Amino acid sequence: MSKKESITTRKADPCAGSCPVGRAAQILDGRWTTRIVRDLLPGRRRYSELLRSLAGISPKVLSARLHFLEEEGVVSKTTYPEVPPRTEYELTARGYRLQPVIAAMAAFGQSLED
Amino acid sequence: MSKKESITTRKADPCAGSCPVGRAAQILDGRWTTRIVRDLLPGRRRYSELLRSLAGISPKVLSARLHFLEEEGVVSKTTYPEVPPRTEYELTARGYRLQPVIAAMAAFGQSLED
């Protein structure tokens, strides 16, 4: 989808801001977001650890998704003034409220293999 | 994301086929899929009804997402030989297994407004 098309669609979508499922879908949009949240559920992770555990994600996409999740208040970032600087990410209270969504998705995904 | 990039990423992602959350995320990918499933939960819908209830979706995107969900065994399509032909979509048994995911997303989306 082109950027222009995406913006046009968002404008034309009265549900986007108001319906709860649409709001959750906006936050979980993309093929990586749920996996980033899943990998943060056990606790805080360094950027490099996420890059490793999310095999196949590009550094650019991981940074963009983490930044988006920070803006949405789902993830918080801490940078330690070390050399080299260490950056860690963890779920906020809001982020942990996604746990039932991830659990339901895991159960559904599991059922596909039965 | 370009088509080429998408295919490359999928190839490089060993989780895509095997981890349950990743598998569910693949099916629910995109900003419309969860809303299409949500609108089919009450029962079968005509294509034109979905186009109306999913305000802002383009006919092209709706067709593509329905086709994808059919291929994934989540939605089934029935065409009635009338003039003009009537096409209806409904969730399969597998599709109804997404209900807990949609419910968890609705609860999360609702919690954002509290």
Q: What is the DSSP letter of A18?
A: T
For A74, the closest chain B residue by CA position comes to B112
Give A95's Cβ-side CA count (13 Å radius): 27
Any residues with CB less than 8 A from the CB of A106 and at least 6 apart, and which?
A: A38, B20, B21, B24
Does the beta carbon of B109 lie under 8 angstroms from any beta carbon of chain A? Answer: yes
Count of H helices and E strands in chain A? Answer: 7, 3
Q: How confident is the model at residue B12 (pLDDT cuts 50, 70, 90)?
A: very low
CB B55 within 8 A of CB B39: no
pTM: 0.79
**The amino acid at A33:** T
Retrieve residue B68's tokens: 């994808």
**Chain A residues 1-30 with a CB less than 8 Å from chain B:** 9-16, 19-26, 28-30
Q: Which of B72, B55, B35 is nearest to A20 (CA)?
A: B35
Q: At what angle do helices A99-113 and B99-113 cross, to 10 degrees?
A: 170
CATH top-level class of A19-113: mainly alpha
Is the alpha carbon torsion for A87, A94, A58, A13 positive or negative? Answer: negative
Pick the more confident residue, B13 or A81: A81
Question: Which residues of chain A neighbour B33 with C-beta distances below 8 Å?
Answer: 25
Q: Which helix (H) or strand (E) holds B80?
A: strand B75-80
Pick the residue of A21, A91, A98 with the most B CBs within 10 A to test the interface with B by mutation: A21
Tens of each residue's pLDDT in chain A, 114 residues: 444 434 334 444 444 446 888 889 888 887 789 999 999 999 999 999 999 999 889 999 999 999 999 999 999 999 999 998 899 999 999 999 999 999 999 999 999 876
Pick the more confident residue, B37 or B26: B37
Retrieve residue A72's tokens: 């949405």
CB-closest option in A13, A19, A35 to B22: A35
CB A74 within 8 A of CB A94: yes
Q: What is the mean pLDDT of residues B57-84?
A: 95
**Chain A residues 73-102 with a CB less than 8 Å from chain B:** 94, 97-98, 100-102
Residue with tokens 């060993």: B14
Pick the residue of A53, A94, A101 with the most B CBs within 10 A to test the interface with B by mutation: A101
What region does A30 belong to: left with phi over 0, alpha with psi -120 to 50, or beta?
left
Does the beta carbon of A52 lie under 8 angstroms from any beta carbon of chain B? Answer: no
Which value does ipTM take for this structure? 0.78
Assign a CATH topology to domain B32-113: Arc Repressor Mutant, subunit A (1.10.10)
Q: Which of A15, A80, A112 is nearest to B27 (CA)?
A: A112
Displacement of CA A1 from its chain's centroid (Å): 20
